[in-house]
Chain A
Amino acid sequence: MAEMPMIEIKAVSRFYGIYKALDSVTLDIAAGEFFSLLGPSGCGKTTLLRSIAGFDTPTSGDIRIDGQSAIGVPPNRRPTNMVFQNYAIFPHLNVAENVAYGLKRLKLDAQDERRRVGDALDQVRLSTLGKRGAHELSGGQRQRVALARALVMRPKVLLLDEPLSALDKKLREEMQVELRSLQKAVGITFVLVTHDQYEALAMSDRIAVMFGGRIAQVATPKEIYQRPLTRAVADFLGGMNFMKARITGETATDLSVETQRFGAVTLTKPPGFTCGTSEATIGIRPERLRVLWDDDTAPHAIEGHVVDRHYFGEITHLIVNVPGLDAPLSVSETNNFGADDIPVGAPIRLAYDPDALVALAD
């Protein structure tokens, strides 16, 4: 990031009594980026977002928005706008009045204001509902009103606290696509809080994964999914098969390990990896293990027995016991070739690509 970040969060901590809701969080968010804060419930996502919005003041640390320190600046004087989790639509105003709410303070002339409200409603495809009362809207429509109401202010940063969690699955997936293309269209920095990994992966330019008030990893969706740094990140994003491996060699960037069944491999060393012991944790995603049928062959394969099977529609999860491994492997296989018919107890061969193995810090 050559240019100045839109949001700089510097060593921000937030204590509630002695409880650390945020623990020295440092983070840069670039202008025009779609950035997601992802983590389990209670990890401090909302606290961080509210600190950026100005509804919460960090106990220590600095937050700079567009180059200006925001500490001590009240929410109404920050160039940020927020979409609240419950949308917070003003119940006494209709849709258009809700959207125009913030504009009233700008004292635009009537025509200008009408145009901006109209444009904002167009953007979220609500132009026909301007006269609707706030309590006559569906969940998805309320979400759009909240979005239009914030966007009409032309903020530098739009903050969204789990904006889709109140919607049903289908609508949620539609809105994910819509939000993403809306962000592309307006070019505003979006910071999205979510505890839904798929949502974060599908929408973001970059994701920060948080646990217990700390940032565990910041990376692009692809990188964070394929190259998780820690066991917790890997586990939170989609699940992973973990195993112990013996360290046989180490350079500044790489780690050579010897595993029970996956042979000797050289892996990228995760930053912050401390080689205290002679053992490392490595992992492989369930979908990176492929079932070998009949006389299929592969350069790298392992053998085992199916001990359990879970059907998920388009895929099946197979639990495979491999002799010599501490824990059974979880395999996810598409049902195109009949993975849903493999009987429990059947012998099975699994192909893998050594590149799919990752070394993980604890």
Chain B
Amino acid sequence: MSPPLTGAKFTGGRHGIRKSRWLPIYVTVYLGFLYLPILLLPIFSFNNAASTTFPLAGFTTKWYAALWGNGAMLDAARNSLFVGLCVAILSTGHAICAARAITRYRFRGQRAATGLIMAPLFLPEIIVAVSLLMIVLQIGIELSLATVILGQTVFCLPYAMSVLISGFEGFDRSLEEASMDLGETALGTFRRVTLPVVAPAIVSSLLVSFTISLDEFILAFFLSGTEPTLPVYIWGQLRFAAKLPSVLALGSLMLVLSILLITIAEFLRRRSQRRIQGRLANG
């Protein structure tokens, strides 16, 4: 590196430091704004009072206990679980095919196809929800969990895709050739080499889709009929002030679950990437 460039970099760095005196404050405020309200959720869910106001009135787990006795809530939870599982499997299944095609083959319209699959990521969700609702009504399908699953699958596909593409991109074609060369069939190769190598990416895609589906409200609200998912149920409960602490308890549980799932997904994604990159670095 030539000296003038280093000098320029250095002054640039000092400039940056002087400027950044406000940066820590900004970051603190920003993070506080982002996370304090979420933090209130678990705090009030353990608060021994029906109203969500300070000062706190003592510790209790009765709101959590009450959840177990709440049949409607348990139904909603079951619905969410079912929808989440279906959405995770469907969107990951489709995304596997698409991601493999995109990372492995060159074909006409590749960019357009990729763009179209990824587009729901940038479309306002409410627009997607309204148009799906219109179509569903037009065709005359009854609103049910099935329609929610359909809608959320479309919505989750781009997320699953981006996880899987990053997982498949490092996948080396010659691994499959090596397997064929060693006598394995195409199907056996997929089972014994392709799947295990990309498995972390697939699991991570399943977890991401499931988590998104679990929290998703707009599509579920528009497309669910008489069977609400958890977010829709929560929305319904907000009208009754007395139920609020229970909702907070439920929300806290969902929060913990979501964070857990996303952390596992990210861990798996990184591990698979490290595995592939380690191989590249060594080879």
Contacts and interface: CB of A to CB of B under 8 A. Distances in A.
Contacts of A53: 181
Given A84-B174, A86-B172, A135-B279, A92 B197 contact: yes
Interface class of chain B by DSSP: helix
A102 B282 contact: no
A91 B197 contact: yes
Nearest to B170: A91
Contact of B184 (A82, A92, A102, A149): A102
B280 to A, nearest CB: 9
- Which of B177, B183, B184, B185 has the most C-beta atoms of chain A within 10 angstroms of its own C-beta? B183
Nearest to B274: A135
A88 B174 contact: yes
A150 to B, nearest CB: 8
Contacts of A115: none
A116 to B, nearest CB: 13
Interface residues of A, number: 33
B220 to A, nearest CB: 37
Contacts of B196: 92
Contact of A149 (B182, B275, B278, B282): B182
Contacts of A101: 179, 182, 184, 192
Report the contact-size class of chain B (Cβ under 8 Å from the partner): 20 to 34
Contacts of B283: 86-87, 89, 139, 142, 166
Given A86-B174, A88-B178, A90-B193, A76 B279 contact: no
B276 interface: yes
B39 to A, nearest CB: 40
A288 B179 CA distance: 49
B126 interface: no
A75 B199 CA distance: 25
A102 B183 CA distance: 6
A210 interface: no
Contact of B180 (A75, A90, A104, A134): A75
B188 A105 contact: yes
A138 interface: yes
A87 B181 CA distance: 12
A85 B177 CA distance: 12
A309 to B, nearest CB: 34
Interface in A26-59: 53, 55
A88 B282 contact: no
A135 B184 contact: no
A117 interface: no
B241 interface: no
Contact of A135 (B178, B181, B188, B278): B278
B276 to A, nearest CB: 7
B178 A74 contact: no
Given A75-B180, A81-B182, A135 B282 contact: yes
Contacts of B179: 90, 101
Interface string B115-150: 000000000000000000000000000000000000
B277 to A, nearest CB: 9
Contacts of A77: 183
B33 to A, nearest CB: 42
A153 interface: yes
A91 B178 contact: no
B74 interface: no
A148 B81 CA distance: 48
Contact of A102 (B174, B182, B185, B197): B182
Nearest to A75: B180
Contacts of A138: 282
B175 interface: yes
Interface string A127-147: 000000011011100100000
Contacts of A137: 282
B279 A89 contact: yes
Contacts of A55: 177, 180-181
A105 B184 contact: yes
Contacts of A135: 275, 278-279, 282
Contacts of B174: 84-86, 88
A166 to B, nearest CB: 7
Contacts of B188: 105
A90 B178 contact: yes
B257 to A, nearest CB: 29
A153 B181 CA distance: 10
Contact of A88 (B172, B183, B192): B172
Contacts of B197: 90-92
Interface in A59-108: 74-77, 80-82, 84-92, 101-102, 104-106
A104 B175 CA distance: 17
Contacts of A91: 175, 197, 275-276, 278-279
B270 to A, nearest CB: 14
Interface in B8-34: none
Nearest to B175: A88
A20 B223 CA distance: 58
A318 to B, nearest CB: 39
Interface in B142-196: 172, 174-175, 177-185, 188, 192-193, 196
Interface of B: 172, 174-175, 177-185, 188, 192-193, 196-197, 199, 275-276, 278-279, 282-283
15 contacts: A55-B177, A75-B180, A76-B184, A84-B177, A86-B172, A89-B283, A90-B175, A91-B279, A104-B192, A105-B184, A105-B188, A135-B279, A139-B283, A142-B282, A150-B181
In order of increasing CB-CB distance, the 8 nearest A-B pairs are A102-B182, A88-B178, A135-B278, A88-B174, A92-B196, A75-B180, A86-B283, A82-B181
